[in-house]
A = this chain, B = another copy of it.
Amino acid sequence: MAFRPEKPAAKTPNIVLFFIDDLGYGDLSVYGALGYKTPNLDKMAQEGTRFTNFMAAQAVCSASRAALLTGCYPNRLGISGAFGPNAGVGLNPKEETIAELVKAQGYATGIFGKWHLGSDQEFLPLQQGFDEYYGVPYSHDMWPLHPWQERAKYPPLHWIEGNKPVKEIKNLEDASELTPVITEKAISFIKRNKNKPFFLYVPHPLPHVPLAASAKFRGKSERGIFGDVMMELDWSVGEIMKELKAQGLDNNTLVIFTSDNGPWLNYGDHAGSAGGFREGKGTSFEGGQREPCIIRWPGVVPAGRVSNKLLSTLDVLPTIAKLTNAKLPKEKIDGLDFSALLKGDDTQTPRESFLYYYRKNNLEAVRKGNWKLVFAHPGRTYEGSLPGKNGQPGPSPEDHQFPKALYNLARDPSERYDVLEQNPEIVAELEKIADAAREDMGDDLQNKTGKNVREIGRAGRK
């Protein structure tokens, strides 16, 4: 037999990861949004696969971002909620992020947008595998103009370039530059890195409040400023996609679009829509965590497909790792590789279950397939309270007592009909999953506090 050289490894794709802020399940036209259109995202869905059962790992900003970038439930990292400017903690620099994994494979890495995984220098993106950073360190409502926190609490907000603040964002007019500037920086990154593989992370700070759109988009939608902002975000996606095409990179780029958590509903006409799912941001009901997700890679990911498989932002890291031949993190992660499903093998069901942890370490619900067991817990509710108008928030009581309940998400996607008493076997099965999670990561609701939960902070993992 003749000697055969090994087949050269297929070229690994560039990755563009859009992570939008407080975008609800119902906020893209292709998911049914009303009052404005998102033609670029609708086109992405036509050219790629649209997911309908895709879960953010937790319903609040920092926790959700930590999970996306590490493939771990945020409580496994010791992270919950949203870091304030003076938190003094962040994602442990020892955690391995997607950026670090692909950087080891020779990828250029850039983040343009909102970080929110610690604002002290040691926690900033350059210390987590990113070559370049231009963006805001945390939510842009964490500034002196915050509508309900005491003004003195939040220091001035700055654009950060690399490790340094470069320009203050003083008012809504300044904030209206968020989307165009991030777009411009992302496009510049593509231009400069067109000849090597790259990982471009675009965590847009909008449509998180306070809403601000460029003059070009203001007043353009039938949905007020929220629709204007959505139109501008869709424009941004379109510009970045256009640049990929212009550089001839379109067919070798995996583009992922999703969001960190559901809409902040008490902001009323300044909030998005969960598209019929119950509750929103800051809750473990589907409205808090079920997100739009579109993935496109021409010729590899089937075009025009809709997938209803249960997946999570947790699964992005191992999937990217697989597609870029990167090594997985050394520590245990929770994400599951769905690359085969993504490429079109619909027999794959990579994720069977999902854990809904919230607050510090409350296991509020567990899911297996289409069944969701909600444990008795105190939590935020938007129901029964009048949302705000014109950017002013309405009330969102945080200590509503939710009873234990079982929902069948297949016939009751909006979690309205508790069928706990009718299904003792299902409950028992879900309780087992919960018990295993408690053993692994603890559960404050059951007074089994996080024995295995990694701790975070300046001191690093203990």
Binding site for B on A (CB under 8 A): 26, 29-30, 32-35, 37, 42, 45-46, 52-53, 222-223, 226-227, 265, 268-269, 271-277, 304-306, 308, 369-370, 383, 386-387, 389, 408-414, 416-419, 422
How many Å from the CB of A29 to the closest CB on chain B?
6
CA distance A223 to B308 in the complex (A): 14
A409 CB contact (under 8 Å) in B34, B265, B414: B34
- What are 19 contact pairs spanning A and B, CB under 8 A? A29-B308, A32-B52, A34-B409, A42-B306, A45-B306, A46-B304, A226-B411, A265-B417, A268-B411, A271-B411, A272-B411, A275-B276, A276-B276, A276-B277, A276-B414, A383-B416, A386-B422, A389-B422, A414-B414
Bound: A411/B234 CA distance, A: 18
Interchain CB contact under 8 A, A273 and B413 = yes
A265, A268, A411, most chain B CB atoms within 10 A = A411
Q: What is the CB-to-nearest-CB distance from A272 to chain B, in angstroms, rounded to a whole number?
A: 7
Q: Chain B's nearest CB lies how many Å from the CB of A285?
A: 11
The chain B residue with its CB closest to the CB of A389 is: B422
State A417–B359 Cα separation when bound (angstroms).
26
Given A222-B370, A389-B422, A417-B386: A33 and B410 interface contact (C-beta under 8 Å): yes
Minimum Cβ distance to chain B for residue A253 (Å): 20
Which one of A42, A414, A422 has the highest number of Cβ atoms from chain B below 10 Å of its Cβ?
A: A414
Nearest 8 A/B pairs, CB to CB: A276-B276, A35-B410, A34-B410, A46-B304, A32-B52, A276-B414, A30-B306, A34-B370
Contacts of A275 in B (CB 8 A): 276, 413
Name the B residues within 8 Å of A414 (CB-CB). 276, 414
Q: How many angstroms from the CA of A387 to the CA of B407 in the assembled complex? A: 12
Per DSSP, chain A at the interface is loop
Determine the chain B residues whose CB is within 8 A of the CB of A268 once the complex forms. 411, 417, 419
Q: In the assembled complex, which residues on chain B have CB atoms less than 8 Å from the CB atom of A370? A: 34-35, 222-223
Given contacts A35-B370, A275-B413, 6 further A-B contacts (CB under 8 A): A26-B413, A34-B53, A265-B417, A386-B422, A387-B419, A389-B422
User: Which of B26, B227, B272, B412 sits near A273, CB closer than 8 Å?
Assistant: B412
Contacts of A276 in B (CB 8 A): 274-277, 413-414
Contact A411 B269 (CB under 8 A): yes
Max chain B Cβ within 10 angstroms of own Cβ: one of A45, A271, A276, A419: A276
Task: Give the residues in chain B near A369, CB-CB below 8 Å.
Answer: 222
- Closest Cβ of chain B: how far from A164's Cβ, in Å? 38
Contact among B26, B42, B308 for A33, CB-based, below 8 A: B308
> Are B32 and A408 within 8 A (Cβ)?
no
- A42 and B45 CA atoms in complex are apart in Å by 13
User: Which of chain B's residues has its CB closest to A50's CB?
Assistant: B30
Q: Is the CB of A32 within 8 A of B308?
A: yes
A422→B50 CA distance, assembly (Å) = 36
- A389: B residues at CB distance < 8 A: 419, 422
Least distance between A266 CB and chain B CB atoms (Å)? 10
Closest-by-CB residue of B relative to A266 is: B417
Chain B residues with Cβ below 8 Å from A387 are: 417, 419
Given A275-B276, A277-B276, A416-B383, also A223-B410 (CB < 8 A): yes
Which residues of the other chain, B, contact A32 by a CB distance below 8 angstroms?
52-53, 308, 413
Which residues of the partner chain B approach A418 to less than 8 Å between Cβ atoms? 386
Q: State the CA gap A369–B269 with chains docked (Å).
A: 16
